[in-house]
């Protein structure tokens, strides 16, 4: 539980970070440290250099411009959880954050760190997918935007080059009056979800569902959007039978299996939680 030897760097600006990334071999970025530090201590990670982002003040911010929320990559999960504009405009994010670890880990954990770590069961990865977030990435040749749908390349593998840095996350605000629901099942509160379900619903003037988003976390290597179920809800009345039909679509997912949790159980949880997340979202439509 003692990390292997590495050189520690503590830059204070984004250009300095990019400069280090451009020159150092086998470097890892340290954000909130809630995953990297245990990985170092358990010697699962062997970087030659650790670049600590905690002194880069420009990466910690929450901006609300019109229909967009822009969040600096180093913004603490706790600051997001407590932010009134987020609570009002993107309640899905607030609700999901309450499930992210514990109060103590949220004081350190960052949104950028969680997205880049890309754990398949991470709540922030799942809601970023549900909300169609855009990831802002800075590199030696400037910045680029990557939609969340294209950000994961595979299991715990984000689309970031070794000389690049995630600087911010943009979230288009869901329309006013939308309903959001986030449900997860873990054996203990605060653990990574075995399965999570995020749902967003909007309603048209005749009271029928105008749009629907269903995202499952923990069932595969990356969050899964239930596109067919989403489409099937359009035009339906937001009531239990429609949700049950949509949730049944989760029976067909190809859930992953590990040594402790069988695939069939993940699938059953996906069905249960999809139905519950949709019901929770519908109850919040206004």
Partner 1 sequence: MLTQAGVIGRSVPRLEDAPLVRGNGLFAADVNFPRQLAMRVVRSQVAHGTLRTIDIAAAQVLPGVIAVWTHADVADIPPIPFRATKLQGLEPYCQPILANRRVRYVGEPIAVVFAETAYIAEDAADLVLPEIDDLPVVLDAKAPPSDFAPGMSTEPAVVRKEFGDVDAAFAAAFDTITLDLSVGRHSGVPLECRGAIARYDAAQDVLELHGTAKKQHWNRDEIARLLNRPPHGVHLFEGHVGGGFGVRGELYPEDLLVCLAALRLGRPVKWIEDRREHMLATNHSREQQHQVRAAIDADGRLLAIDAVFWHDQGAYVRTHGARVADLAAAMLPGPYRLPAYRVAGHFRLTNKTPAATYRAPGRFETTFVRERLMDAIAARLNLSPIELRRRNLIASAEMPHPRPLDALGTDVVLDSGDYAGLLDRALVRIGWNALQTTLQRRRAAGERVGAGLGFFVEKSGLGPSDGVRISIDHTGGVELVSGAASVGQGVETVLAQIAADTLGVEYRRIRVVRGRTDRIEFGNGAHASRVTVMSGSATHLAAQAIRAMALATAAPLLQARPEELTLANGHVARLDAAGIGLMSLAEVARHMGPGSKLMIGRTPGLTAERWFYSDHMTYPYGVHIAVVRLDEGTGQVRVERYLVAYDVGRAVNPMLVEGQIAGGVAQGLGGALFEEFRYDATGQPLSTTFADYLIPTVSEIPELDVLITEDAPSPLNPLGVKGAGEGGINGVGAAIAAAVDDALGRPGAITALPILPTTVHGLLHA
Angle between helices 263-283 and 240-248 (to 10 degrees): 150
Q: Is 269 in the site for partner 1 (CB under 8 A)?
A: yes
Query: Within the chain, what is the greatest distance between any pair of CA atoms?
Result: 64
User: How many chain residues touch partner 1 (CB under 8 A)?
Assistant: 26
Q: Is 8 in the site for partner 1 (CB under 8 A)?
A: no
Tally DSSP H helices, then E strands, for the chain.
11, 14
Distance CA 269, CA 265 (A): 6
Q: How far is the CB of 286 from partner 1 (least distance, A)?
A: 26
The interface with partner 1 within residues 155-194 (CB under 8 A) comprises 185, 187-192
Using the contact rule CB under 8 A, the part of the chain among 86-94, 104-112, 173-181, 271-279 near partner 1 is 271-279
Q: Which is nearer to partner 1, 151 or 185 (CB)?
A: 185
Distance CA 45, CA 259 (A): 22
Q: Is 276 in the site for partner 1 (CB under 8 A)?
A: yes
Q: Is 273 in the site for partner 1 (CB under 8 A)?
A: yes
Q: Is 65 in the site for partner 1 (CB under 8 A)?
A: no
Report the residue from 61, 265, 284, 285 that binds partner 1 according to the rule CB under 8 A: 265
Task: Tokens 């420009």: give the residue.
Answer: 58
Distance CA 206, CA 130 (A): 25
Distance CA 116, CA 233 (A): 32
Q: Which is nearer to partner 1, 126 or 267 (CB)?
A: 267
Task: Tokens 């937001």: give the residue.
Answer: 238
Q: How far is the CB of 260 from partner 1 (least distance, A)?
A: 6
Q: Which is nearer to partner 1, 83 or 99 (CB)?
A: 99
Consecutive H or E run containing 215 = strand 209-217
Q: Is 99 in the site for partner 1 (CB under 8 A)?
A: no
The interface with partner 1 within residues 205-264 (CB under 8 A) comprises 259-262
Distance CA 188, CA 192 (A): 9
Q: How far is the CB of 265 from partner 1 (least distance, A)?
A: 5
Distance CA 141, CA 161 (A): 12
Q: How far is the CB of 46 from partner 1 (least distance, A)?
A: 10
Tokens representing 158? 């984000």
Q: How far is the CB of 211 from partner 1 (least distance, A)?
A: 25
Distance CA 69, CA 52 (A): 25
Give residues in contact with partner 1 (CB under 8 A).
Answer: 1-5, 42-43, 185, 187-192, 259-262, 265, 268-269, 271-273, 275-276
């Amino acid at each position: 539980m003692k990390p292997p030897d590495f050189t520690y760097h503590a830059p204070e600006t984004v250009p300095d970070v990019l400069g280090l990334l451009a020159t150092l071999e086998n470097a890892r970025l340290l954000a909130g440290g809630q995953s990297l530090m245990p990985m170092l201590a358990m010697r699962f990670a062997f970087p030659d250099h650790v670049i600590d982002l905690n002194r880069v003040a420009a990466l910690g911010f929450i901006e609300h411009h019109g229909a967009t929320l822009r969040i600096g990559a180093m913004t603490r999960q706790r600051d997001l959880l407590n932010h009134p504009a987020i609570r009002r405009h993107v309640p899905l994010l607030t609700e999901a954050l309450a499930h992210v670890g514990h109060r103590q880990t949220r004081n350190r954990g960052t949104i950028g760190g969680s997205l880049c770590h890309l754990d398949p069961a991470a709540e922030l990865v799942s809601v970023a997918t549900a909300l169609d977030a855009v990831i802002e990435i800075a590199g030696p040749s400037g910045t680029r935007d990557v939609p969340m749908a294209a950000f994961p390349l595979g299991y715990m593998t984000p689309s970031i080059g070794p000389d690049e840095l995630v600087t911010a996350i943009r979230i288009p605000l869901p329309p006013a009056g939308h309903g959001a629901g986030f449900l997860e099942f873990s054996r203990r509160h605060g653990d990574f979800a075995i399965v999570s379900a995020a749902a967003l619903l909007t309603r048209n003037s005749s009271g029928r569902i105008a749009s629907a988003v269903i995202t499952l976390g923990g069932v595969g290597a990356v969050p899964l959007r239930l596109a067919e179920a989403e489409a099937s809800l359009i035009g339906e009345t937001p009531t239990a039978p429609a949700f049950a039909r949509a949730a049944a679509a989760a029976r067909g997912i190809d859930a992953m299996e590990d040594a402790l949790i069988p695939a069939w159980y993940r699938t059953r949880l996906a069905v249960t939680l999809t139905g519950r997340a949709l019901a929770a979202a519908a109850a919040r439509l206004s």
